[in-house]
Every structure is written in C-alpha cells, then in structure tokens.
C-alpha cells in the first residue's frame, strides 16, 4: 500500500483553493481598506498584503492542477 492512498485529493483540492482565495481576499481587502480608512499604509504592510494576494493567486492556480489532476494521475 502506497503512502498516497491515504490522501483525499478532492478535499485537499477544495481546501487549498479556498485557502488561496482567502489569502487573495485578505490581501486585496487589506490594501483597499488600508488606503481608504487609514489614508495610507507603511511600506512593510503594503508589501505583506501584496505578497498575500500574490500567494493567493498562485495557490488558486496551482493547487487544483497539482492535487486535482497531476497527483491522482500518478497513482
């Protein structure tokens, strides 16, 4: 029995996609609300929120491909 037999690929795919979507939403909402409410954010906060949005996009694109297509085909 292989180690990958215990992985539930549909659940991992859904949760990974939702995590990426949440990171993207937090990054964009924080950037927009920070500009509107606070009138500007320090550079490190802008970098953090931009990185969150970029990581969210990356997860939304890669997780479904890796855990929804690639890994199930390799079993």
Residue 23: closest CA among 59, 67, 68, 66: 59
pTM exceeds 0.75, yes or no: yes
C-alpha to C-alpha distance for 5 and 63, rounded to whole angstroms: 18
Residue 51 reports pLDDT greater than 70 = yes
pLDDT tens for residues 2-46?
A: 565 678 999 999 999 999 999 999 999 999 999 899 888 899 999
Residue 66: closest CA among 2, 4, 3: 4
Q: Which of the pair, 70 or 1, is modelled with greater confidence?
A: 70
């Amino acid at each position: 029995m292989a180690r990958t037999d215990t992985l539930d690929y549909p659940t991992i795919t859904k949760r990974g996609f939702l995590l990426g979507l949440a990171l993207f939403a937090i990054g964009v909402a924080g950037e927009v609300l920070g500009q509107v409410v606070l009138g500007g954010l320090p550079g490190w906060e802008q970098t953090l929120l931009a990185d969150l949005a970029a990581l969210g996009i990356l997860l939304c694109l890669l997780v479904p491909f890796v855990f929804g297509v690639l890994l199930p085909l390799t079993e």
